[in-house]
Amino acid sequence: MRFDPDDGNTPTQATVKAGTLAFPPENNPVREGYRFDGWTRDGQPFDFQVPILQDTTLTAKWAKATDWTLSPDHGPTSGTQLTISPPSLQESYYTSIHTAGSQFVGLTGDGRIYTWAQDGTPKQVPLPTQAADGFRYLQAAAGSQWQAAIGSDQQIYTWPNGQTTPTILDTKQNTRFTSISMNDDLLLAVDRQGQVHAFQADQTDGQNEKLTEQATTVLPGQAQATLAVASPSRTLALDADGQAWTWNTSRTANVKPERIRQDQGMRITQAQALSQGFLLLGANGQACYLADGKTSLATTGLSENMKASRITANKNQAVITGTDGHIWTWKPGETPTRADNGNQHYLQAVRIGGRITALDRQGSLYQWSINTQNQPGKPAKVNTTTAPTLESASLDSQSLTLNKTDGSWQTEMPASQPGPVTITLAGRQDGQPFTRSLNYTVDQTLLKDIRQSSTYTVTFKTDGGSPKPGDQQVTYPYGRVQRPSPDPTRSGYQFDGWFINEVAYDFSKPVTENLTLTAKWTSKTPNTSWRISPDTGSQLGHETTTITPPDSTSGIRFNQVGGAKYYTYVFSLAVGSDGKAYAWGDNTYGQLGDATTNSRSTPNIVRKPAGVPTDFTYVQVSAGKWHSLAVGSDGYVYAWGSNQHGQLGNNTTTYSSVPVRVRDPASPNDPNKGLKAIQVSAGDEHSLALDSNGYVYAWGWNDNGRLGNNSTADSSFPVRVRDPASPTDPNKGLKAIQVSAGWHHSLAVGSDGYTYAWGLNNYGQLGNSNKSSSSFPVRVRDFASPNDANKGLKAVQVSAGYSHSLAVGSDGYTYAWGLNNYGQLGNSNTVDSTVPVRVRDPTSPKDASKGLKATAINAGGEHSLAVGNNGYAYAWGWNLYRQLGDGTTSNSSVPVPVRDPTSPADASKGLQATRFSVGDHHSLAVGSNGYAYAWGENSYGQLGDGTTDDSNVPVSVLFNLQPVITAARFDTSPGTNLAPVSNGNGVTVLTPAHQPGTVTVSVDYAMGGAGRILTDTSLRYTYLPAGVLPKAGGEGILLALATGMTGMGGVLASRRHRRELHQLLHASHE
C-alpha cells in the first residue's frame, strides 16, 4: 500500500497481506489552505472495507478550504462596523453508504459520519466524548435498531437509532478491530487476530439497552477472518484467502464453522446478508447467492459480461453496482432489474423501499425513486451539509452584539488598544458546535495635530519588581513619558526595560492615549544548553518531542533605530530598552561615539556624555551624514562625529568621537549651558531640534537656506527657524510638533497642522509648486488644491529624503513630492512633482483614486518606507542596493511589501514593523516581535549582522537574539510538524521512523528568526524497539514500513501469536 499525500511530501508505504483490509495513516494529511477530503484510487473514492488484492496506490484528495472571514480585518481603535461571513458550503466527499430498515449511514473520506432517515435531514454523528486530537471514523455499519463505527483507534463505537452520542463498546480486554457489520441488533466485529465477535442488545436495567458480547468464533486451522455478516439464522465470514465459512447464528458455544464449496481459484471479496441467505461477490466481478441451509453457491441471473464492483443488501433486497457504474436491484429468485437511468456512473448504491441512494465517482450522493413499473426516476443530489449558525462572538471575553443580515452577521468593534487582537466565534455547523478565532488588527494611532491639548495617564506594571513607579500625567503634543529612575529590581533577575507587549517602549514619542508600560525581566541563572524531552521513543516514530534552545542571557531590545544619510562611511544608530545608545558601521569621523574611530559590524555602546548623572539614559538618537544626534534623559541635546560645518552645535568645527552637549542658543559661548529639546533630526551636514515649547532650532551647513533662519550662513550653534508668517523677524520662530532634516532641505509639521519646508528645491522637494529654494519655511501645497497658495497640506508626520519628501496626511494617506527618478514618490510613475501626490495603495497600485494609508513614513536617499495601518512595512523607489527588502533588486514606483525575515522566500508574507528608519542605501526596522532587522547595502557593516554582505531581505541585527528553530533532523531524517511552544522559545516536532538506537538530533536555527542558518548537534534521541509483529498466516507478514501507519504497524501481538514467535523467525516471506 502506498499513500501519496499529493502535496509534495514523500508518500508513506505499508505491506498488507493479500485479501485483508488496509488502514489509512494514523493522521489525515494536512495541507495549508486546503481541506482533506479522503483517499482515492484512480481518482475515485476508496472504501477501506474493500480487501486489498494487489499493489495499490491511494492519493489524497484536496479541496480548497474556506473559513469564516472578517471584513474589514483592521480598523481604528473603536467604532468599526464588522461583517462576519460564514464559509461557503462545501459538500462532503463520501466513500461509502450503508442502510438498514429506514436508516441511512454515510461515511466521508475525512472520517465523518452522517445519518438520516428516509426523507429526513442528514445529521452529523459527533465524535466520542474526550476523543483524541485527530480522531476520525474509519468504518460505519447500520442496523435496524443500532448503528456502529470503528474509530481511528480501532475501537468500536455504537449508538441507538434516534440518538447520536457514540459510546465506546466494552470489549473487556480492549480488543482492536478491523471490520464490522450489523443485522438488526446483532453486531459482528472481526479483530486483528481474525476472530469474529458477536455482540447483541441486552436490556441491563429494565430500561437501557446496550450491546454485550455473546460469542467469539475462531475459524479452523490457520484461517483468519477479514469480515463477517449475519442473516437472522446464519453467520458468514470471509478469510484472507477469499474462502467463505458459515455457522448457526444462534449458537454461542462449540461453534464449528463450515467451509462453503467454491470453484477452484475463486476468491470472494465482499459479502452481504439478506433476510434469507447471502449475496457474495468474487474477485472476478461475478455476484452469486448462498441460500440458507446450503453450502454451495448459485448465480444471481446477471449476465456473465456484467462485472460487479460493489454489493449491498437490506432485508430481502440487494443492490449490485457494476464496474461500468450502472446499478441493478435483485431479490432471491428474481431476475436483476436495471435501477438507474444511465446518465451517471456510480460506485455503490443502497435501497430502502422504492428509494435508491447512490454514491457517484466524485464522492457525491444522489437519490431517486423506483416506480411501480420498476422504472428509475431522475437523480437528485443529496445535500448533507447545512449552513452554519453563529451563536456568539467575543473579543477578550467581551461579548459582541450580533445582527444577522443575508447570511452574514454584523457587529461593532469595541474600544481596544492598537495591535493584533483575536475575535472568538462560537456556533454550530453540521449540527456540531464549533469555535473559530479570527485575527483583527487595531490600527496604530496616528500622531495628532495640535488642535487641542490633551492629557493622558501612563501607568507602570513592574511584574514582580520594586519599587513601582507612580503614574505620570503626560500632555500632548509636547509632553513625553519620563523613564522612571531608579530602575526596579527583582531578586534573581535582570531588568530589561519597559515594554508594551514584545516591543520596547520609545520614550521619545508623544503620547496620544492612556498607556501601561510593563517591566520585562531575564533570569540571572539561565539554562545555557539545548534540551529535548522526551529523549526516547518508538522506532516507528510519529511521536511528539519538545526541543528547547538555551535561554536568553538578556532581553534588552531596541526601541528605535536610525540609518545614516549618505552612501559613504555609512553607520546605524539605536536606543536600547536599557536606556543605552548603540551604534555600528563606519566610524571614520567618530560617528559611533565610542571614543575611537574603529568601525563595527555589530552594535556597540555609545559613550555617555561627560558629567551626566549616573542614571542618565538616552531618549532619542538620529543619524546624519557622518554625525549623530541624541536627546538625553536630562533633556539636553548631544552630538558627535563630523563637524566640518558646525553640525555638532558646540560652537566649534572640530569633530568629536564622544558625545558633546549642543550649546544653548541664548548663550552659545557658555559650555555649561545647552539646548534642551524633545526631538532631534540629523540631516546631511545640518541638524534640527524641537524644544518643549514647540520652537524649531537648526545648526550646521546652511547652503540653500536649509537652517531656515533667512540666511545661507553656516552656524556652529543653534539658531531659531523663522516664523513663516514673519520670516524677517528674528524674534519670532516656527512652532511645530515634529521636524525632519533631509540632505539639503528640511521639513516640519507646524503647530497649526500644516506642513512646512525650507532649503534646496531643485526638484520640487519643498512641495510649494515651484523649484525655487527658500531660506525660511514655506507652506507645502494642498494635495486637493495644488494651485491655491492659500491652502496647504495638513499632516501628522513628515520625513525628508535626499531630494524628495514624504508625509502622512491628517486623512491617514501617504503623500510624496520632489525627485522621482526611481519611483520614490510611489505614484506609479517616475515623473518629478513640485506638489504632493498620493502614494498608491499596494493592493490596488493601478487605481489612482486609492492610496496607501500609513501610521509612519521615512524617506531615504532615493527610496521610501512606510508602515501601513495594517502594521506591515512597505517600500518603494530605488532598489539597486536591495534597500526595498522585497527579495529583488528591481526598482518599484509603487509600494511593495518588505519580506518577512522569518520566511524571506515567501512573497505572500511581510514584515510587521513598529519602528523603522532608512538611510541612503540601507533600511532598518524594529519588528512587532521586538527584534531589530536591517537590509540593503552592507559595505561598512551598517546592517549590524556581523558581516559586510548585502541583503535583499531583512536580516537580524545581532543584538541579544534568541535562537528560533527552523528544522530538526533525527540522524538524517527530518522531523515534521514543527510548532512553536506557547509562551516559550521551543518547538514540538514529530519524530521520523528509525532503526533502534541512539541518534544525533541536528537542530537548524536562525538568531532572531532571520539571516544565516546555524546548526546545533549536541542533542541525542534514543529509538526503542517497537516489538516483534505477530505471524500473519501463510501468504505474508503484516509489516509497518513507514511513518504514519500505526493503524497497521505497532500492532500488539496476542498471547497466542507470541507463542508462535519461534516459528515466525523461521517463516519464509512470500
Q: 422: buried, middle or exposed (CB in 10 Å: 19+, 13-18, 0-12)?
A: exposed
* CA neighbor of 916 nearest in space, from 950, 878, 988, 868: 868
**What does the DSSP assignment read for 533-550?**
ES-EEETT---EEEEEPP
* CA neighbor of 956 nearest in space, from 981, 923, 982, 933: 933
Least confident of 237-241, 290-294, 349-353, 1037-1041: 1037-1041
- Residue 452's pLDDT is what? 52
Residue 290 lies in a domain: no
pLDDT band at residue 1064 under the 50/70/90 scheme: very low
**Final residue before a domain boundary, out of 1005, 1024, 1043:** 1024
510-565 confidence digits (pLDDT tens): 999 999 999 999 988 888 899 999 999 999 898 999 999 998 888 999 999 999 99
Own/partner long-range contacts of 535-538 (Cβ < 8 Å, ≥24 apart) = 535/1019, 535/1020, 535/1021, 535/1022, 536/1021, 536/1022, 536/1023, 536/1024, 537/991, 537/1021, 537/1022, 537/1023, 537/1024, 538/1023, 538/1024, 538/1026, 538/1050
* CATH number of the domain to which 458 belongs: 2.60.40.4270
976-1030 confidence digits (pLDDT tens): 988 888 667 889 999 999 999 999 999 999 888 777 788 999 999 999 987 533 3
Residue 818 lies in a domain: yes
The mean per-residue pLDDT over the stretch 346-364 comes to 92
My answer on whether 514 and 393 are in the same domain is no
Alpha-carbon distance of 760 to 578, in angstroms, equals 39
pLDDT band at residue 449 under the 50/70/90 scheme: very low
Residue 48 DSSP SS3: coil
Alpha-carbon distance of 532 to 545, in angstroms, equals 7
- Residue 983's pLDDT is what? 63
Grid cell for residue 160 = 441507538
My answer on whether 546 and 619 are in the same domain is no
Residue 63 lies in a domain: no
| CB crowding 693-719: b at 16 or more within 10 Å, else e | ebbbbbbbbbbbbbbbbbeeebbbbbb
Q: What is the mean pLDDT of the chain?
A: 89
| Torsion, CA 796, CA 801, CA 803, CA 807, rounded to 10 | -20
Alpha-carbon distance of 285 to 512, in angstroms, equals 78
Residue 1056 DSSP SS3: helix
Alpha-carbon distance of 913 to 890, in angstroms, equals 22
Give the chain's domain count. 4
The mean per-residue pLDDT over the stretch 167-193 comes to 89
- Residue 1011's pLDDT is what? 72
- Residue 1028's pLDDT is what? 33
- Residue 204's pLDDT is what? 52
* CATH number of the domain to which 913 belongs: 2.130.10.30
Supply φ then ψ for residue 853, to 5 degrees: -90, 130
Residue 198 DSSP SS3: strand
Give yes or no for residue 121 having a pLDDT over 60.
Answer: yes
Give yes or no for residue 870 having a pLDDT over 60.
Answer: yes
With cell 532587522, the residue in question is: 933
**Final residue before a domain boundary, out of 899, 924, 956:** 956
Residue 928 backbone class (left: φ over 0; alpha: ψ -120 to 50; beta: rest):
alpha
How far, in whole angstroms, is CA 566 from its chain's centroid?
39
Residue 200 lies in a domain: no
**What does the DSSP assignment read for 573-591?**
EEEETTS-EEEEE--TTST
Give yes or no for residue 414 having a pLDDT over 50.
Answer: yes
622-650 confidence digits (pLDDT tens): 999 999 999 999 999 999 999 999 999 99
What value, to the nearest 5°, has the Cα angle with vertex 500 and ends 498 and 501?
Answer: 120
Give yes or no for residue 233 having a pLDDT over 50.
Answer: yes
- Residue 451's pLDDT is what? 39
Residues 6+ apart with CB under 8 A from 293: none
The mean per-residue pLDDT over the stretch 206-212 comes to 70
Residue 14 pairs with which residues in a beta bridge?
1040
- For the chain, the straight-line distance linking the first and the last C-alpha, in angstroms and rounded, comes to 16
Strand-strand pairing, 278-282 and 268-273: antiparallel
My answer on whether 719 and 839 are in the same domain is yes
Own/partner long-range contacts of 88-91 (Cβ < 8 Å, ≥24 apart) = 89/385, 89/387, 90/35, 90/63, 90/66, 90/385, 91/364, 91/383, 91/384, 91/385
676-693 confidence digits (pLDDT tens): 999 999 999 999 999 999
Alpha-carbon distance of 390 to 87, in angstroms, equals 11
Alpha-carbon distance of 698 to 682, in angstroms, equals 10
Residue 600 lies in a domain: yes
Least confident of 60-74, 159-173, 253-267, 608-622: 159-173
Alpha-carbon distance of 60 to 12, in angstroms, equals 12
User: Which of 89-93, 183-187, 502-506 holds the top average pLDDT?
Assistant: 502-506
- Residue 1036's pLDDT is what? 33
Residue 869 lies in a domain: yes
Residue 585 pairs with which residues in a beta bridge?
571, 600
787-838 confidence digits (pLDDT tens): 999 999 999 999 999 999 999 999 999 999 999 999 999 999 999 999 999 9
- Residue 1050's pLDDT is what? 35
- Residue 7's pLDDT is what? 77
- Residue 769's pLDDT is what? 96
pLDDT band at residue 1057 under the 50/70/90 scheme: very low
> From the CB of residue 1022, how many other CB atoms can be counted at a distance below 10 Å?
14
With cell 496647504, the residue in question is: 792
My answer on whether 519 and 539 are in the same domain is no
Q: Where are the beta strands (DSSP E) in 205-307?
A: 209-217, 225-230, 234-239, 244-248, 258-259, 268-273, 278-282, 287-290, 298-299
What percent of the chain has pLDDT above 90?
Answer: 67
For residue 640, give Cα distances in angstroms to 107, 609, 672, 691.
75, 10, 17, 20
Alpha-carbon distance of 298 to 860, in angstroms, equals 89
Alpha-carbon distance of 647 to 737, in angstroms, equals 22
My answer on whether 688 and 582 are in the same domain is yes
944-989 confidence digits (pLDDT tens): 999 999 999 999 998 888 888 999 999 999 999 888 886 678 899 9
With cell 524674534, the residue in question is: 731
455-473 confidence digits (pLDDT tens): 999 999 999 999 999 999 9
pLDDT band at residue 122 under the 50/70/90 scheme: confident
Residue 318 pairs with which residues in a beta bridge?
313, 330
Q: Where are the beta strands (DSSP E) in 549-691?
A: 558-563, 571-576, 581-585, 600-605, 618-623, 627-632, 637-641, 656-661, 679-682, 686-690
Alpha-carbon distance of 52 to 1048, in angstroms, equals 13
Grid cell for residue 1011 = 539571516
Residue 705 DSSP SS3: helix
* CA neighbor of 543 nearest in space, from 975, 31, 1020: 975
| One-letter amino acid for residue 669 of the chain | N
Residue 280 lies in a domain: no
- Residue 888's pLDDT is what? 96
My answer on whether 668 and 688 are in the same domain is yes
Residue 463 backbone class (left: φ over 0; alpha: ψ -120 to 50; beta: rest):
left
My answer on whether 852 and 975 are in the same domain is no
Run of H or E including 1061? helix 1061-1066
> From the CB of residue 410, how many other CB atoms can be counted at a distance below 10 Å?
14
pLDDT band at residue 1044 under the 50/70/90 scheme: very low
Grid cell for residue 139 = 468504518
My answer on whether 670 and 696 are in the same domain is yes
Domain containing 621 equals: 559-956
Run of H or E including 597? none
SS (H, E, C) 291-331: CCCCCECEECCCCCCCCEEEEEEECCEEEEEECCCCEEEEC
Residue 847 lies in a domain: yes
My answer on whether 507 and 545 are in the same domain is no
15 touches 222 (CB < 8 A): no
**Final residue before a domain boundary, out of 987, 1002, 1024:** 1024
My answer on whether 535 and 683 are in the same domain is no
291-350 confidence digits (pLDDT tens): 988 888 998 888 878 899 999 998 889 999 999 999 999 999 888 999 998 888 999 999
* CATH number of the domain to which 537 belongs: 2.60.40.10
My answer on whether 843 and 970 are in the same domain is no
Q: What is the Rg, in whole angstroms, of the alpha carbon atoms belonging to the chain? A: 38
- Residue 581's pLDDT is what? 97
What's the order of all strands across the beta sheet hosting 419-429?
74-75, 432-442, 419-429, 389-395, 398-399
| CB crowding 148-183: b at 16 or more within 10 Å, else e | bbbbbbbbbbbbbbeebebebbebeeebbbbbbbbb
My answer on whether 543 and 568 are in the same domain is no
